[in-house]
Amino acid sequence: MDSPVPRTSAIAPAPKKPSARPRSKAVASSDANAATAEATPTRRPRGRPRKTAEELDDGNRRRKLMDGAAKLFRTQGFAATSTRDIAAAAGMHSGSPFYHFESKSALLYAVMSEGMTMATQSQQQALDALPTTATPREQLHTLIRHHFEILLGPRSSFIPVMLYEWRSLTPAQRKGIARIKDSYEATWMPVLEALAKQGALQAEPGVARLFIFGALNWAVQWFSPKKGKSLDALTDEALALFIRS
């Protein structure tokens, strides 16, 4: 028999790939930097993000609604003031208040709560501005002067509204306002107690606080800047009523 013919492989061996050319250092460095940039998370700027123009405008509109509502609630009363009245006072369409507040009652609560919160903060700032050597008498003078400012100053409508429209709040809303009000008045107690220890206070501190706020708050009914009394002069006269010289 003839010798068998050797069979060739059906699959030819793959040709050898030419060796890759070495990459330049510049390209390798560029790739490394790109990889590092992808791996490193982008840092966000610290602090709160800046408000957009639209957000700032919304804040201004909300403030206009609250200021307009406070004046109307004070002059016309809560029940007699419509949301249409409030929108007109703020220069808006009649439905605009409901974009910012779910109801007229919610707007009333915002007028009171935000007003008292701002008053509490500014009261503390007024006390912090006093020197550490300030006497209890000087501290009470500052507290009274500040209270007259929020009672009779340019944005003073929220306290009369709080005094006269308390019953228009829901029970839950009353509790919320009472907490802020108690915090505001509590700041006066250490000052009144220090005056009582000195024998300068005309009544027991807790009772004196009630009398003082009752007398000061009533000033919204009779005070008129046209009569010539300044808030500074009013403060001096009020202080003379409550403590011995």
Q: What is the widest separation between alpha-carbon atoms in the chain?
A: 143
Whether the CB-CB separation of 147 and 194 falls below 8 Å is answered with no
Predicted pLDDT at 55: 43
Predicted pLDDT at 47: 53
Give me 96's structure tokens. Answer: 């605009």
pLDDT of 74-93, one tens digit each?
A: 999 999 999 889 889 888 88
Instruction: Sort 230 into a burial class: Cβ within 10 Å, 0-12 / 13-18 / 19+.
Output: exposed
The single-letter code of the amino acid at 191 is V
Determine if the pTM surpasses 0.85. no
| 68 contacts: CB under 8 Å, gap ≥ 6 | 86, 89, 90
Whether the CB-CB separation of 130 and 139 falls below 8 Å is answered with yes
pLDDT of 99-118, one tens digit each?
A: 788 889 999 999 999 999 99
Question: Which carries the bigger pLDDT value, residue 27 or residue 164?
Answer: 164
Q: Is the dihedral of CA 119, 124, 126, 127 positive or negative?
A: positive
At CA 100, angle to CA 96 and CA 105, rounded to 5?
Answer: 95
The single-letter code of the amino acid at 161 is V
Report the share of the chain in percent with pLDDT over 70: 76
Predicted pLDDT at 9: 40
Confidence class for position 58, pLDDT limits 50, 70, 90? low
| 25 contacts: CB under 8 Å, gap ≥ 6 | none
Tracing tokens 């509490």 back to the chain, one arrives at 120
pLDDT of 120-149, one tens digit each?
A: 999 999 999 999 999 999 999 999 999 999
pLDDT of 13-43, one tens digit each?
A: 444 544 445 554 444 444 545 444 444 455 5
At CA 128, angle to CA 127 and CA 134, rounded to 5?
Answer: 65
Give me 199's structure tokens. Answer: 């024998």
Cα–Cα nearest to 147, from 156, 135, 136, 137: 156
